Amino acid sequence: MVTLNTLKKMKTDGEKIAMLTCYEASFAALMNRAGVEILLIGDSLGMTVQGQSSTLPVTLEHMVYHTQNVARSNSHSLILADLPFGSYQQSKEQAFAAAAALMAAGAHMVKLEGGAVFAETTEFLQARGIPVCAHIGLTPQYVNTLSGYKVQGRGDAAAAVLADAQAHDAAGASMILMECVPAALGKTITQSVSCPTIGIGAGKDTDGQVLVMHDMLGVYHGKTAKFVKNFMDGQNSIQAAVEAYVREVKAGTFPGAEHTFE
Ligand code: KIV
């Protein structure tokens, strides 16, 4: 079973961590077989599964349902579930109630989007038995305040993203996930925090990588980002594509320069 200690040791040993989104039982079993260490029940399911135009309409009930479906067939990956929009921003107590529902559904860790302003929430949950992954950089739940899905932390803005990572790390976060930040910032953050880091569009030097399953299998009906690679290319099965992803993450050949922001 992949635990927090497994992930810490992988960071120390320089072994890359492979994470993919997963929303249901059959894919959970397939990803277990392919050696994916972390299954993320991402609120991206709002877009990939429900056909919404953002993650905002996803509810806690949706997240609990999909977490249960993944957990039933999972044999050894760590299960990370997203706290959906509106389920944790109001207070630490609200965050605990939502996170507890996800843990009861089978999650081993929850993910919240937001910077230093949520470090207190991270500390509150961690102290009460709930490991937290802090999602910083591009935080899709804040698409309206960010004016779109854009690269974060370029130039002078890098210091604020670094401060977000350090605040969550100091608060005891079990993991930091960075989305759409320049590769150099991904590397700096990874070197300056004690917990493992996962990147999506954050360059090759984070402790691990994540992609949305529908993107890496080339089945998403919408537009895909620069950081996406279609792993079905050259493969004759989904299992082989997921295995190729794990192999390339472990070897450090994914992401390449073409998937990376300066
Ligand atoms: O919801 C999700 O799939 C995510 C990934 C983009 C990391 O948060």
Type of residue at 166? Q
In whole angstroms, give the CA distance from residue 133 to residue 248: 23
Q: Which of 37, 113, 123, 179 is catalytic?
A: 179
Whole-structure pTM value: 0.98
Q: What is the mean pLDDT of residues 93-108?
A: 99
Give the pLDDT confidence score for residue 37 in this predicted structure. 98
Per-residue pLDDT reduced to its tens digit, 18-74: 999 999 999 999 999 999 999 999 999 999 999 999 999 999 999 999 999 999 999
**Extended strands (E) in the chain:** 17-21, 38-41, 78-82, 109-113, 132-137, 175-179, 197-200, 208-211
Best residue among 36, 102, 135, 180 to mutate for probing ligand 1's pocket (most ligand atoms within 8 Å of CB) is 135
Ligand 1 center to residue 176 CA distance, Å?
12
**Facing residues of 199 across strands?**
178, 209
In whole angstroms, give the CA distance from residue 137 to residue 116: 11
Kindly indicate the confidence band of residue 210, based on its pLDDT and cuts at 50, 70 and 90: very high
At 131, phi and psi to the nearest 5? -65, 140
| Atom in ligand 1 nearest the alpha carbon of residue 135 | 8
Per-residue pLDDT reduced to its tens digit, 70-94: 999 999 999 999 999 999 999 999 9
> Is 179 considered catalytic here?
yes
Give the pLDDT confidence score for residue 101 in this predicted structure. 99
In whole angstroms, give the CA distance from residue 133 to residue 122: 8
Nearest protein CA to atom 4 of ligand 1, as residue? 42
CA 142 to chain centre: 16
Q: What is the mean pLDDT of residues 99-115?
A: 99
In whole angstroms, give the CA distance from residue 156 to residue 182: 12
Mean pLDDT over the full length of the chain: 98
Q: Which of 218, 221, 226 is nearest to 244 (CA)?
A: 218
